[in-house]
Amino acid sequence: MAGVTATVPTAATRVFDLADAPVRALNQFLHHELRGSGVQRVEILNPNGAHNIAVGIDHPVTIDIQGHGGYYVAGMNKHADVTVHGNVGWGVAENMMSGTVRVKGFASESAGATGHGGTLIIEGDASLRCGISMKGIDIVVGGRVGNFSAFMGQAGRLVVCGDAGDGLGDSLYEAVLYVRGKIKSLGADAQEEPMTEADLAGVADLLKKAGFPYDPTEFKRVASARSLYHWNADANQEY
């Protein structure tokens, strides 16, 4: 009809202020009340480094954490898109299954540990053991990663736009690592390999998703030499 303008309903938003409500109440809502509530976005105020914020989500929802988080932020995430507008402690997105977790600041140890899927984006640096035992997750770090990152990485991709510390990719299986900066040292059974066209395309896609403006040709590929796949009785524990 002429003269009638359609209105578009805005997404329903639920606000939790952790200065007034405990993390338990937030997670209770996310686990048991979110589905069917019509809420499409959750905003979390005053996190103040609290642990276990927004863990175990199993429903599509957008979550904005307005400040710093403690240990295990967005652990076991499934389907949700979580953004932390600050830094995080140990184990952000630990055992993540799907969805996206973005950290606008820095991440402490074991970011993305044992992650099975989804994408973890860290805009700053990540500390030790980033991507330890990763099992299919994609991790993109805008800065540096610490020692023994991707230790025992079984599947997935780790893209590091800065430098990498000692022991990168120690005991790798099928995870593949891409590093733009300097690598202090490679771990046992990790080796640098030529970048293929598939690697360049994959890195370009992940950089675009993360919003980082780097050239994929600047990255080095690190993968497993596969000498640790089978027990060698003659190696005398020396590989």
Q: Could you read off the pLDDT of 43-101 as tens digits, one per residue?
A: 999 999 999 999 999 999 999 999 999 999 999 999 999 999 999 999 999 999 999 99
From the list 208, 119, 116, the residue with the least C-alpha distance to 153 is 116
Fold of 47-225: Pectate Lyase C-like (2.160.20)
Number of helices (H), then strands (E), belonging to the chain: the values are 2, 11
Residue 170 has pLDDT above 60, yes or no: yes
- Residue indicated by tokens 């950290």: 103
Q: From the centroid of its chain, how far is CA 68?
A: 16
Distance CA 177, CA 11 (A): 38
Tell me, what DSSP letter sits at residue 139? E
Token pair for 14: 């639920």
Q: With contact defined as beta carbons under 8 Å apart, do 151 and 166 qualify?
A: no
- Which pTM does this prediction carry? 0.92
Specify the residue for token string 């771990």: 187
- Length of the chain counted residue by residue: 239
